[in-house]
Amino acid sequence: TKHQLIIKNIISILTHFYLFESVTHTLISDVIKHLLKSFKEKDIEMLLNLLHNIGAMIRKDSPSLCKDIILLCESKKIESKITLSKPAVANPDASKAAQPAMTSFERKVKFLTEELNDIKNNKVSRHSKLLTSLKLYLNWLKTNSQIKSELLKNPLEVDFKLLDESPPGKKWWLSEEDQALLETTVKISEIESKIDKSYLAQLETAAKAQRLVTDIQKSVFYTIMNSEDYLDAYQNLHKLGLRKRQEREIVKVIVQCCVQENVFNKYYALLVKKLCDNDKSFVYSCKYTLWDYLKIIDSMAVRKIVNLGKLYGFLFSSFSLPLSVLKFLDFYEKVDKNQRLFVNVAMDEIFYNKGAEKNAKNEDEAIMASLEFIKTVFEKIKSNTSITEFKDGMSSYLAGNYYKYRSKKKGSSEAELKILEKKLKVAMDLLSGTVLQ
């Protein structure tokens, strides 16, 4: 049946997890004991397949467990009144046809007994040789420098009881404390009732397209999209009553919405700025959200990278976020194409910011105001001695990559480049004193 096929596939997955040391023998032993306690024909069939593949590995990892399995199997045979030994025959020449034939269930129990005896006696089989080859391959993977950090993690410690008793949808791998924190305090139905039905249908389609599936994510998304302006959105987000850990989703959703736009929308930038200026916990959320994007930036479209760069450049230039969040990037190593695009767009928001010049009466005052603005932005990380290497690397990047990028950009006049050189000199003096290349 379909149900039995699902169970068989799940056991097959668990078997391979165990082979690749992703789970401990604790979970596997619980599954085996559960199948033995049932001792039905279909369960024995699945048990045979499981032991045939990983029986030798179980014996090596836990000999006592192997003994327990054999004893439990023997007790279940006695309980089921199954006798596999050949009955005494009065006449040795009696035909085999006179002996009662074994049922399908008895044959499978016999195969199970033989399999367990082979495991007990450490009988080398074809599968044992395959396991040896697999072990060699796993050891090679673990010593590979590129993925060593990903494979040297501890295997998952979990028992069958926890999985069996967990209600559908519950994240059983989290502690009870974390479970409580994840429980949403918002009622999505209340938010949906305040939105026009036709517009709600559009929002639901958009949320699904962006893979915003949890109630918290959808609540934040609907609130942002249904607000009149960023101030209204800020107030409405606070009315959701999210806990601190849940509030991290706010920044994630806002940034995701921002990068998806065809053209950069300042609405999202103003909203994030308002959140960061009023609660410093959002500063950390912005930092970790950016780092998550920088991990996958190689696969992002140019439009999304530009939007991301403009968003964070705005936060840097409005003093809502320190430049030190860029320490995730190693400026001493070769910064790849997409990373350069992000950094260059963000730096444009700083070095070509016109906000400081709006009250200037003439060109000289405008230049002085812009230089003072650059000084204010970079002074915020000047005194941080824990990021000296980052500051030196960023200074070198500004003097090399960024200056070349601006000098080659179409429409950049000689006068503009001279002003840029002055701004870069101020920034680099504050970082490490690097000279323009």
Residue 94 lies in a domain: no
> Quick check: is 338 in a domain?
no
User: Which of these three, 267, 297, 321, is where a domain ends?
Assistant: 321
The last residue of a domain, from among 165, 184, 213: 165
What's the pTM value of the predicted model, to 2 decimals?
0.62
Q: How confident is the model at residue 168 (pLDDT cuts 50, 70, 90)?
A: low
Claim to verify: residue 138 and residue 254 sit in the same structural domain: no
CA atoms of 276 and 283, how far apart (whole Å): 5
Domain count, the chain: 3
Q: Is residue 65 part of a domain?
A: yes
How many whole angstroms separate alpha carbon 220 and alpha carbon 197?
A: 18
Residues 3 and 139 in one domain: yes
Name the average pLDDT for the chain.
82
Residue 25 lies in a domain: yes
Q: Are residues 186 and 133 in the same domain?
A: no
96-125 pLDDT tens trace: 555 566 788 888 888 888 888 888 887 755
Least confident range from 48-52, 84-88, 220-224, 346-350: namely 84-88
> 422 lies in which domain range?
353-436
Tell me if 177 sits within 8 A of 47, measured CB to CB: no
Q: How much is the average pLDDT of 6-30? A: 83
Boundary-marking domain end, from 165, 197, 217: 165
Both 238 and 130 in one domain: the answer is no
* 249-308 residue pLDDT tens: 999 999 999 999 999 999 999 999 999 999 999 999 999 999 999 999 999 999 999 999
Confidence of residue 231 (pLDDT cuts 50, 70, 90): very high
Specify whether 121 is located in the same domain as 259. no
Q: Provide the pLDDT confidence category of residue 131 given band limits of 50, 70 and 90.
A: low
Write the single-letter amino acid at 3: H
* pLDDT for the residue 330: 85
Is 41 inside any structural domain? yes
pLDDT value of position 148? 46
Same structural domain for residues 141 and 257?
no
Residue 378 domain flag: yes
Residue 114 counted as domain residue = yes
Do residue 179 and residue 161 come from a single domain? no
242 shares its domain with 291:
yes
Q: Are residues 203 and 149 in the same domain?
A: no
In a domain, 335, yes or no: no
CB-based contacts of 173-181 (< 8 A; 24+ apart in sequence): 181/243, 181/245, 181/246
* pLDDT tens, residue by residue, 34-65: 888 888 888 888 888 888 888 878 888 888 88
Do 290 and 384 fall into the same domain?
Answer: no
Do 9 and 153 fall within a single domain? yes
Is 227 in the same domain as 126? Answer: no
